[in-house]
Structure 1
């Protein structure tokens, strides 16, 4: 573990204390796991406390742990299915941090919006809402970003069918785009492997 990572780890323990649910160090990076109730408050400390100084939010992404590595996410005590992960950068201290928060409910995954802390979170949170169905409480413009307004479901959820639920096409009679049930039949294709005699050998 590098000196800067050790310094950051000590600062996190001093500043956040009991708000840390888990702090992992792997491959020269720290991952901080916090509860949904503490998420916004922790993020504010990460930005505003001079010892931490994370001025910049690099990324926000949703996570669906429902079939993650055969249930490996169960190492997080009573971990729900959905999580939000953010990546922060401190330019002043030259260090990075990954922060993870699990949504309490699987039916309506909800976490606080941090768009009021870092404006760059705006479209990232909309993307996570669109693709995973994670609701960011306090976001002032939470609507789909990448999929169509009539899209059904959230395509990055692991139980979402590969072909989707509906397809759209242009209807010449109605002179508009219409939605209809998917006409593609789901199937699995197993590639055929042909082994030639003496393949790779000397002829």
Structure 2
């Protein structure tokens, strides 16, 4: 028996850009095509509604959320970045139309970054949003179980933020007298190590 089902041809990036512009209108802050990949940037206030439209509209039909991560733009562009600091970046896949999309939404406030959770739209966003909360401190409003997923329960801070110290804030060790693991302030003093370079004219027998 021959399977007559065929995979739909991939939509050209420029065509997808035009489709999204017509579908979203002013809710799309920008729609760019770089290296054949389409990136849609939306405001935090429009984030959830836009994502629901992208999932349900017949011309988009992004049935799958395949990735979501946090971003910290504090030192982006060698410090020339002047926009909001934190963002969530989402990758969507349409099986129906065979096209992919990157969606980016910036948090309105740097001190307390918040975005709507998209777990009611895609269950796969659950652990991704927990990871972004754990590593970047982005709070996803409406998430049913927003807690750390990679770091320990007693961990202080968010380790993927650009201003997080490389040595951390606390160190963990086993205390034999107390017979348990304890946390203590880090005793390592931050320092910058400059590697020593030795130049030899005849290194390794080479001339």
TM-score strictly above 0.5: yes
User: Following TM superposition, by how much is the alpha carbon of 1:39 offset from its aligned partner in structure 2, in angstroms?
Assistant: 0.2
User: Following TM superposition, by how much is the alpha carbon of 1:23 offset from its aligned partner in structure 2, in angstroms?
Assistant: 1.1
Instruction: From 36, 51, 64, give the equivalent of 1:56.
Output: 64
Instruction: From 13, 26, 30, give the equivalent of 1:5.
Output: 13
TM-score, normalised by the number of residues in structure 2: 0.91
Secondary structure in 2 aligned to 1:130? helix
Partner deviation per Cα, 1:106-127 (whole Å, 9 max, x = no partner): 1110000001111110000000
1:171-190 counterparts in 2 under 5 A? 171-190=175-194
Instruction: From 81, 85, 103, give the equivalent of 1:81.
Output: 85
Secondary structure in 2 aligned to 1:68? coil
Instruction: From 69, 81, 89, give the equivalent of 2:77.
Output: 69
User: Following TM superposition, by how much is the alpha carbon of 1:202 offset from its aligned partner in structure 2, in angstroms?
Assistant: 5.7
Conserved? CA contact 2:28–2:40, under 8 Å: yes
Conserved? CA contact 2:74–2:162, under 8 Å: yes
1:1-203 counterparts in 2 under 5 A? 4-74=12-82, 79-199=83-203, 203=207
C-alpha RMSD of matched pairs (Å): 1.6
Distance 1:3 1:119, change over 3 A: closer
Secondary structure in 2 aligned to 1:40? helix
User: Following TM superposition, by how much is the alpha carbon of 1:198 offset from its aligned partner in structure 2, in angstroms?
Assistant: 3.7
- Residues matched between the structures, number: 198
Distance in 2 between residues matched to 1:72 and 1:114, nearest whole Å: 31
Unaligned stretches of 5+ residues in structure 1: none
Distance in 1 between residues matched to 2:28 and 2:197, nearest whole Å: 51
Partner deviation per Cα, 1:16-68 (whole Å, 9 max, x = no partner): 01101011110000110000000000000111111011111111100100110
Distance in 1 between residues matched to 2:96 and 2:11, nearest whole Å: 16
Distance in 2 between residues matched to 1:55 and 1:184, nearest whole Å: 48
